[in-house]
Chains A and B, each alone.
Chain A
Amino acid sequence: MSHKLLSKKQLCPNVYMTDIEAPLVAAAARPGQFVIVCLAGGYSERIPLTIAGADAKKGTIRLIWQAVGKSTVELGQLKVGDSVENILGPLGKPTHVEKFGTVVCIGGGIGNAPLLPIATAMKKAGNKVISILGARTRELLILEEDFKAVSDEIIIVTDDGSYGRKALVTGPLDEICQAAPKPGLAVAIGPAIMMKFCCATTKKYDVPTVVSLNTIMIDGTGMCGGCRVEVGGQTKFVCVDGPEFDGHLVNFDLMMKRMQAYKKQEAQALEEYKHKCKIGLDK
């Protein structure tokens, strides 16, 4: 079965959003889950991508991804009407949603994509949702309007001050944790380093914090163990035990090192692909 791209939009440089036909996944998907996309049947990589939205009636899921390596760049080259051959999912445990009181949703860069369905579900469950969205610079900020629609309060920060506050997400997060009543839950999704410092911040105030990990993965069903992380001193598999974990227990330093495992080979593959396809990569 192949999965047709029904829409495609570039959200910012190298970041694409598409609605794609996947009725089975759409029917089962819950916030927090992900899929594995494999472009063609041959020997393409299996790429784990979080589900940024699902419409069970239309039978579509929304994927948002950043073109960083050969396979995600190749995925970004597809046009509306093109298909990808394989989509497996939904995978991982869904987010635990209940009324926590105030939920702070912290998104960094592409992390806003998986965060959006979680923020939406938290709002629906009766929580007060405060969203903190961070980006390096204004043009890299994605999904601002969508977050406005589901947030009681929204705070934008940029590293360079080109939009919103010139700060890191941990700045406003610290302030929110100090306020009374303190948040019942924080959900942080973004670069590992950002999640690490968000957890360090919330830990000071004892605010429970959920993070969603996006480690290297192959099968996504527990079989290979490539996605393993250390949580509370124990080995956990992101694909079946996660992708969400108690951020205060995750060994981020180890995880960040593991995520660098194929940096050299990935760079080489991307170079060769660009050369071969002579594609005009957007700068």
Chain B
Amino acid sequence: MNQQQLLDELLKKHKDGTLKPSDRFNIPPQPMPQQDSVERRKNVNEVALGYTETQARLEALRCLQCKNAPCVEGCPVRIKIKEFITEIVEGNFQKALDIIRENSLLPAVCGRVCPQEVQCQLPCTVGKKFKDVEKSVSIGRLERFVSDWGRKQHDQSSPAVAAATGKKVAVIGSGPGGIVVATDVRRAGHDVTVFEAFHKTGGVMVYGIPEFRLPKAIVQEEIDTLEKMGVKIVRNFVVGRTKTIKQLIEEDGFDAVYVGVGAGLPMFMGIEGEHLVGVYSANEYLTRANLMRAYDFGKGADTPIAMSKRVAVVGGGNVAMDSARTAVRLGAEKVYLVYRRSEKEMPARVEEVHHAKEEGIEFHLLRNPKKIIGNAEGVVTAIECLKFELGEPDASGRRRPVPIEGSEFIIDVDTVVVAIGNGANPLIGQTTDGLTLNKWGNIIVDENCKTSLEGVYAGGDIVLGAATVILAMGQGRTAAAAINEYLKSK
């Protein structure tokens, strides 16, 4: 029986009310169609291709429609998962999209980059039944299917905007959090201006997350929607330098400010050789490759990047995977991922780890660099690593990596990408009197994302430290609601 026949049969049972849970359990989890792993090493096009209608409806039929919907609890923005999946089963994709949009403003983004396996899909009853989170209902893929369907309909509608209130709101940063705040605050009728330091909008979604995981065109559509709603977007404006928050409030008359500037200060390991030519922070490597399109250097793009043959990427998160997979696409013959714990502790998404392996990236687990070695010209030639073993759990609950003495070994490389996280960018803190920061420089906020300054709110990585797109969006929603409430009384 082919997929279509299976679907027809299941839908029939569904209609006459004879579809039993056992029938649902028997539906095979639908795999994500993807670009061939050999072919995709040579291009930057999206790897995951998205479900067909048949696949989406089959996957949706796997959902048990649990009364308590544990999946919703696992979603930072509480999407009505059960309801939107029901509409997919029925083939009502527009309705499904509308339901998602009640809670998530960026479904095409979240459907691609959310870590669903540790959020909505973790508590899924289907996954629990099979004792395997990978067998949970693929909520993320369904979300992506619905949003892509909407885009294919050339759905140009943008959220309705209430009558003008005469209040002005400044949103600093055009990343996921900033987009959410701008949308929600604009909907309430306020005059919104988004300030972006780069010449391109989208924040981490355009400089950090590669095209092969999140196409730029999708992010651009979200920005276009904002502009259609009447949100003003000012590029090349760095708050703290071009103007301070105080100036925005006192001179330009903004009634409220949202700070969503991201984390933005790369961490290094503090080991010998980190200043050698060929050592990059992941931010620099990805910015050159993504935002400045260095893979087209000399063919329309002017920003160069190392033309590496052998690359070591240090770290185990999504950014490390993105860097390693970018190196492959830039033509590296050998790419090594060096991570100090085991695969089990890796913070990267399982799917991305899997993609990375398919693309030939070699994993050096329980290994960590000790020093970086260079030649007389100051260019990287190798990386010296130490082997590790796992000890007792540390404060993070993960087993602590302990170095094995005398286990040094050398990998010959010409490029090293350091992807071990970001600290807080100091600029806003340094230039905003009265803004309370924690000892790491992150902005301190209350449960409404309000900072220590009247009318100033903050969220996303500058508050949380390096987190995810969806968490930034969740905070954006909270902050926007608080700003709208605050402006009512002002």
Contacts and interface: CB of A to CB of B under 8 A. Distances in A.
Given A28-B243, A89-B241, A265-B297, A228 B275 contact: yes
B359 to A, nearest CB: 25
B239 to A, nearest CB: 10
Contacts of B292: 43, 45-46, 218
Interface string A55-96: 000000000000000110000000000000111111100000
Interface stretch (B49-57, B78-86, B134-142, B264-272): B264-272
Interface stretch (A97-105, A204-212, A255-263): A255-263
A70 B303 CA distance: 10
A92 B311 CA distance: 32
Nearest to B293: A43
A262 B297 CA distance: 12
Contacts of B215: none
Contact of B266 (A24, A33, A220, A223): A223
A221 B199 contact: no
Interface stretch (A118-126, A127-135, A194-202, A266-274): A266-274
Given A44-B302, A45-B302, A240-B425, A38 B281 contact: no
Interface in B261-317: 262, 264-266, 268, 270, 274-278, 280-281, 283-284, 287-288, 292-293, 296-298, 300-304, 306-307
A38 B199 contact: yes
A116 to B, nearest CB: 21
Interface residues of B, number: 48
A191 interface: no
Interface stretch (B63-71, B156-164, B230-238): B230-238
B389 to A, nearest CB: 29
B275 A87 contact: no
B274 A223 contact: no
A269 B302 contact: yes
B378 interface: yes
Interface in A224-283: 224-226, 228-230, 235, 237, 240, 251, 254, 257-258, 260-262, 265-266, 268-269, 272
A90 B241 contact: yes
B283 A43 contact: no
Interface string B220-259: 0000000000000011111001110000000000000000
Contacts of A44: 302
Given A91-B238, A226-B281, A235 B268 contact: yes
Given A70-B302, A86-B236, A223 B275 contact: no
A224 B199 contact: no
Contact of A224 (B281, B297, B306): B281
Nearest to A235: B268
B232 to A, nearest CB: 12
B275 A258 contact: yes
Interface string A5-32: 0000000000000000000110010000
A262 B238 contact: no
A266 B297 CA distance: 10
Main SS at interface, chain A: mixed
A222 B427 contact: yes
A254 B378 contact: yes
B377 interface: yes
Given A221-B197, A221-B427, A43 B301 contact: yes
A47 to B, nearest CB: 9
Given A88-B236, A219-B287, A45 B303 contact: yes
A180 interface: no
A24 B237 contact: yes
Interface residues of A, number: 48
A224 B298 CA distance: 22
Given A89-B241, A219-B197, A71 B302 contact: yes
Given A225-B266, A240-B426, A218 B277 contact: no
Contacts of A181: none
Contacts of B379: 257
A258 B273 CA distance: 12
B198 interface: yes
Given A219-B197, A219-B287, A240-B427, A89 B238 contact: yes
Contacts of A87: 236
A225 B268 contact: yes
A262 B304 contact: yes
Given A85-B199, A86-B199, A25 B284 contact: no
Contacts of A219: 197-198, 207, 287
B296 A43 contact: yes
Given A28-B243, A219-B198, A272 B277 contact: no
A86 to B, nearest CB: 4
A254 B293 CA distance: 28
A235 B281 CA distance: 13
Contacts of B262: 223
A28 B241 CA distance: 7
A91 B241 contact: yes
Contacts of B425: 221-223, 240
A179 interface: no
A219 B71 CA distance: 39
Interface in B174-208: 197-200, 207
19 contacts: A1-B235, A42-B300, A43-B302, A45-B292, A45-B303, A46-B199, A46-B303, A87-B236, A218-B287, A221-B427, A222-B426, A223-B262, A223-B283, A224-B281, A225-B284, A235-B274, A257-B276, A260-B377, A261-B277
Given A91-B238, A225-B266, 4 more contacts: A43-B293, A225-B268, A240-B427, A260-B277
Interface of B: 197-200, 207, 234-238, 241-243, 262, 264-266, 268, 270, 274-278, 280-281, 283-284, 287-288, 292-293, 296-298, 300-304, 306-307, 377-379, 425-427
Closest 10 CB pairs of A and B: A257-B378, A43-B301, A224-B284, A265-B304, A225-B281, A225-B266, A45-B302, A86-B199, A88-B236, A226-B284
